[in-house]
Amino acid sequence: VRAAGSRAVRVQDLAVGDRRGQGEILDRLLGNDRFRRWAARFPLTRPIARRRAGALFDLTAGFVYAQVLGACVRLRLFERLLQSPATALELAHEWSLPADRAERLLEAAQALDLVELRGAQRYGLGPLGTGLAENPGLVALIAHHELLYADLADPLALLRGETGRGALGRFWGYAGNDSPAALPDQAVRDYTQLMAASQSLVAAQALDAYPLKRHRRLLDVGGGDGSFIAAAAAQAPALQLMLFDLPPVAERARQRLGTLGLAARASVHAGDFLRDELPGGADIISLVRVLHDHPDEAVARILGAARRALPPGGTVLVVEPMSGTRGARRLEAYFGLYLLAMGSGRPRSARRVEELLRAAGFRAVRRHATTLPLLASVLSARAAPEC
Ligand SMILES: C[S@@+](CC[C@H](N)C(=O)[O-])C[C@H]1O[C@@H](n2cnc3c(N)ncnc32)[C@H](O)[C@@H]1O
């Protein structure tokens, strides 16, 4: 600031009094147009100024980036380019789009590293596109975001609670529903398929961080169609399997586990974990992407039921994205709004989940590092003997 003061900016120009805190002084300085122009030129501050401007541009343009990605996903661009690179004209023809519009989309996708030019005219997968081409789970997650964007069209109306049950609330039929056990199959079908499609990514994180071989019987609560216990079964061949979910989801799990040849190793239980007791007999209970869907009182009920269903010393495993985790700094911004639009739940830090676990009678809470905390963090805890 002093260096700047000698040439372009004098601190007194900023009208910053001694009474202000350091944060306020800095806010005022960074908001000062002359200071910003100086910082953009001064060699030591230039990279910072550029980085900030770039970050602000990305925030402003984020919605457009997401729509470019959404359009590519709807046109199945990544699967297409995995087969072979193609020109804009070929793709325009396949998509029944005017050639200049297809080119516009491809140029946007190229700027976002989703595709890249191979030679003068052919497009191939870019560094981010390769990650999507063979990942149907991620593609399905991206595709369902059009529901979220519809709900976020007026974020202030959403924050004020003026929007009522939106597209995501309808998609996640159990969210904010007083009688979720009465939901028909058609109300759980789409979210169950979405969860199944993306489960392999989460299961890999969870099972690498916390291998299940040391356990005898796993109960997966809110276990969806059984994709997680199927992955656990593959990792731990001696593990017995149990699953608890809403009646129509449990029925789907029964069928899927049968198809996978796991019927003899697995028992499936239907019910409402906010009202019913959980079945006993497991030495480990997993809650995968379940707690963040529910408010604290409901989480206390679910964990209480898990505690009662476990023997003393039994393990509970919580697997979900947790806020405040290193490597996943933006989670709050995303999940905070996502769950608000969905109409139930909130993102929680590992510390907050730990508090809820302790309040429910769990001890020895441990964090298990995952390689992709954006997908999931993992906490384990033991049922206290005295409860
Ligand atoms: C976000 S999904 C996660 C599914 C699965 N664990 C996964 O990660 O793929 C939440 C699951 O909890 C189940 N669920 C929600 N409310 C429930 C309730 N009150 N009782 C039992 N299951 C419930 C849903 O049916 C759904 O399968």
> How far apart, in whole angstroms, are the C-alpha atoms of residue 273 and residue 181?
9
Instruction: Tell me the average pLDDT across 230-240.
Output: 97
The amino acid at residue 67 is Q
Per-residue pLDDT of 33-79, as tens digits, reads 888 888 888 888 888 888 988 899 999 999 999 999 999 999 999 99
- Global pTM reads 0.89
Burial of 262 (0-12, 13-18, 19+ CB in 10 A): middle
Spell out the alpha helix ranges (H) of 210-327. 227-235, 247-259, 296-309
Distance 26 CA to ligand 1 centre (A): 46
pLDDT at residue number 16: 47
- Ligand 1, CB cutoff 6 Å, lining residues: 174, 180, 188, 195, 199, 202, 222-224, 228, 245-246, 249, 272-274, 288-290, 293
Average pLDDT, the chain: 93
Q: How confident is the model at residue 20 (pLDDT cuts 50, 70, 90)?
A: low
Q: What is the mean pLDDT of residues 182-205?
A: 96
Q: Per residue in 140-162, pLDDT tens?
A: 999 999 999 999 999 999 999 99
CA 216, 220, 224 angle in degrees (round to 5)? 145
Mutate to test the pocket of ligand 1, among 218, 246, 276, 318 (most ligand atoms within 8 A of CB): 246
- The 10s digit of each residue's pLDDT in 4-18 is 444 444 545 555 445
**For 31-98, where are the alpha helices, taking DSSP H only?**
33-41, 46-74, 77-83, 88-95
Pair of tokens at residue 372:
């992709």
Decide: helix, strand or coil at residue 77: helix
Atom of ligand 1 nearest to the CA of 188: 25
31 CA from centroid of ligand 1 (Å):
46
In this predicted structure, the answer to whether residue 318 has a pLDDT above a threshold of 80 is: yes
Q: 261-305 pLDDT, tens per residue?
A: 999 999 999 999 999 999 999 999 999 999 999 999 999 999 999
Read off the tokens for 386.
Answer: 């005295």
| pLDDT value at residue 8 | 47
Cα distance between residue 221 and residue 290, in whole Å? 8
